Structure 1
Amino acid sequence: MAGAAVESRLADIEKQCRGGLDAAALRTETLSRLRRVIPADAAFFATVDPVTLLFTSAAAEDPLGSATEQFLDNEFGRADVNKFAALAQAADPVASLDRVTHGDRSASARYREIMAPLGLGDEVRAALVTGHHCWGVLCLHREDSPAGFTADELDLLRRIAPHLAAGLRKALTARPSSEDTAPRPGGVGLILLDADRRLVSMSPEAEQWLDDFPDTDRRGAGPLPVTVHAVAAGPVPSTVRIRGRSGQWMALHTTQVGPQIGVVVEPARPAELGAVLLSAHGLTDAQTRVAALVVRGHSTRELVDELHISANTVQEHLTAVFDKFGVRSRRELVAAVLADLAGRQ
């Protein structure tokens, strides 16, 4: 493909990432454009909790959806190459199956047991990282053939991955549109799964929460969103934070209940969301520490003493925080953070 055409299409993807789209729209718009520069036969795209790296929404194209449980078992319960969590921590967050196995795809259990039976060959995976946090993951697949993804195609994905990450991060702070505002659930819900993560029972409160989940494509996951299966497949206990379609934040906590796994769904508490929301506004680690203490009511003197930095440095960080939140004072910052926590317009 001519260089000018590729650059134009990459610029179009970057424009979509800056457009303030929600995660579902960003996925749709960017995947269709990405395929024009990196052809693929199937794709998996998920947002993740930047703290736990567990999926918070996911979409798997055919034939991937039919093997959702197998992919989750491989991702969270078995040793294999090219795991998303490893890519999120790696210096290079993009890698293909052919390259990490030196062309021996059968060295991967995921290929032998899941991809090959589905007629899939090489895959390229990307952890979508910006600001030292991973906000999503992407996997592109090709039909099973000797030819896999080229080095040039991997380079193109490396170029666009940080822009996708920034778009997903921005989506966390976007307000829900009026036409997609779901009822705001409340209370504490409980979902019980058996040892094979099959649904045993679900409380009425949990059913209300499920209506607010961002997952709309549940093919291959049965009556529950992929997110619930993913958090149950991860370590127990664990917690994942999700922003619902209504704008309200929820927290999913897993616990062992005899041989069963319980998934508790409830409104997320501010302490569980602080770092996630501050990072979603593009704050650096130093700015996040300052903003978190300001929200708790700390004075400049207390910030200096606790963080061991000068008053001038505190003010520099605060100025940057105000700019990123679009506010002019500590009071306005606290109000903006509280609005984010509540999911209000």
Structure 2
Amino acid sequence: MNGTTEHQGPSSELATATDGLWDAVIAGDEYAAADAVTTALDRGADAETVLLEIIAPLQARVGREWAANRLTVAQEHTATAINERSIAALAHHPAVRKALERHGERPRGRVAVACIDGEWHALPARILAEVLRLRGWQVDYLGAQVPTPHLIAHVHRTNPAVVALSSSIATRLPSAHAAVTACQATGTPVLVGGAAYGPDGRYAALLGADGWAPDARSAADRLAEGPLGKPPPVRQVIDDLPHLADQEYTQITRTARGLVRYVVTELPARFPAMADYTDQQRRRTAEDIAHIVDFLGAALYVDDPELFTGFIGWTAGILTARGVPARSLLPGLDLLAEQLVDYPRATDLLSRARDTLRHPLPEAAEGRIA
């Protein structure tokens, strides 16, 4: 299994498995989900294909359905848990176990697969770990939100050929930078992947990763090509990102809680509709403001306005799908801007975000910006 064959799309058997898995996920039936996966394998489906052409796209569909307000948060979490169980069922299928035993006689090398500290979205990393095992690698799968000191302790103990780091949320990029730098300090190259690094991997290069892959198949293909190369000399973060010298990122992240409290306290005077909000709606509003501040910090860290405006556009789409006017975000952005008037990069980002809301792109209005 080398992943270089051309993929023409799912066969009727794969289509049947896809439909069966989706029905099981929506019903919250983990046993039916496992049956759908194992039946596909029993009928000759390739395990990597099941992972990458059934389970991974289905998880992406779950995300889209949640964004469109057709699945609740609870349903989305249930679906993710069931998909994880489906991967476990695949990994323990007799045909897969036999293949792994054959690979175990002469493994390609050792890879540590982990999620960045604070990153709870572990399914992409789990899929990568299973694909690499199927390709003959010895894989240490460390799971979700691995603190960097623990990751480095594992690297020292096991000496992997490469560390693969996954992150789906851009607010984890500062932690990703620390983890990449720490791994490289041990002489271990780092391959990164996940939505956090941008659709073109722009933040992977910015943070000094040795490689980037948009998906598990691409990551496995890249590792099959040979070593990522010797890690560059370790540098201080501020040398890598000179714009951090203005201290805006540091100051705003240090005062994030206070900023959120201020906006939540003052917002009812700017947005009278909040007077009729339930306690749950007020909590969700506070969560939205906290996410905005977090993404503002991440955009300051990488010095990319598109990261922040893209998030605001995505949030506008989420609110619109739930019957909340996207322009309801404007008063909160105004309040943040008033508090951050002494921070030019931050105020510029907030100004761009307000322009995004006043003149939304069609895909933002329909909730398609991820």
Q: What is the TM-score normalised by the length of structure 1? A: 0.25
More helix by share: 2
More strand by share: 1
Bigger Rg over Cα? 2
